[in-house]
Structure 1
Amino acid sequence: MISAKIRFPVIFIGVFAAAILMALYAATFGRMERADAAESIKLYCDAFVRQDMAAQKQLTSYGAQTDAFNMKMAFSSALQTTGAFLSSEEAAKIGDAYMESLRGATVETAVTEQSRERAMVEVTVTRFNMPAAREKATALLRERMKLDGSPEELRRTAVEATAEAYRALQPVGTVTFYVPVQYNEETRIWDPADPMQFGFDLSKQTMGVE
């Protein structure tokens, strides 16, 4: 049986340890309750534009829902707005090449407006030289085109030439646009108010599509 003299210091140490743990919790997890909106969107950009695995794992650890955020799909949609008529397989092939180039993109973010639950984030991202890529694709197509080739062969060659050109996209400055965001009480970070629109806007801006 523990005497009263021993029991008191044991209880005191237990209370003291609990206080330390609470302080540590407040110093770490507590801060996440008001995560910075610009840092949150930068994390999304690093995860899905630059395809940074550490950023993707961090979002997953927060419990962020990222299924709706698909840069490759957004790119395919943006590509169609330029007048390209591609099958899903062709768009996927060019999309994979484009995503490789995006790994070299730079992203900067800053908050321009903010309330408790809503904010506006300014995103500055690399814009790639799409006209030069199209010229390169055309040149490659002319080099590889067979005059006696079938329409199917010609189309396949065109897709392969375009993918090769997109895989080697060159930056041509940066472009800035604005993203409405909202605070997520469950994940404790800020999310794009419309994830699909965010992905679409990123694709349009990096491609230089107005």
Structure 2
Amino acid sequence: MKFLLIEDNQALADAVCARMQLDGHVIDHAGTIQDALAYSETGEYDLILLDIMLPDGDGRHFLKAHRDGKKDTPVIVLTARSQVSDRISMLDLGADDYVTKPFDHAELQARCRAVLRRKAGSAQTVMRLGDVAFDPVAGHLKVSDQTISLRNKELRLLELLINAPGQIFPKQKLVDRLFSYDDDVSENAVEVYIGRLRKHLAPSSLKITTLRGLGYRLDHG
């Protein structure tokens, strides 16, 4: 998954980014509303973590603009405000959940998983397609009764493909989803991970098809 963290406290941002990266997520960090708007306009994210008190304004203004723009990316608010009225106002503006500062990182990670499951319309973590069972939380792929542990980028790449079988993913879009803006990578890196996934999926009914000049597609059967 690819997250956007909007937080001006650098120490907290570094800690959150480190924990999310350990879970295999890609995360971009914006310290201001202006930077956050630039990231959200040019990037595609699975989840946004939003601080309220920011140097150039109130994070609720970003949230309102985000929802007014018809964007449905889930948003978890990080707030030091504990008043019930404050939390209700944020939920009314379109926040999917909130975490009160100071928070335990394990709680934040659990809240992220819960929001993402609700977004997918399921409380189940295991995804099934054909004769393949994929658990993105555990990082396991089961093919023909064989369980394979996936590396982080393999895991996130398969998660993208298996969520949209039949959809064409251009190389550049996969680069954008698998790597942060700070990563210095080329489209060739995607080819490496595609090759690894093909080997894992070889005994199954799933196939990653290359469409020259267009990108990649996960086919079933």
- Relative to the length of structure 2, the TM-score reads 0.22
Considering fraction of residues, name the structure with more strand: 2
Considering fraction of residues, name the structure with more helix: 1
Structure label with greater radius of gyration: 1
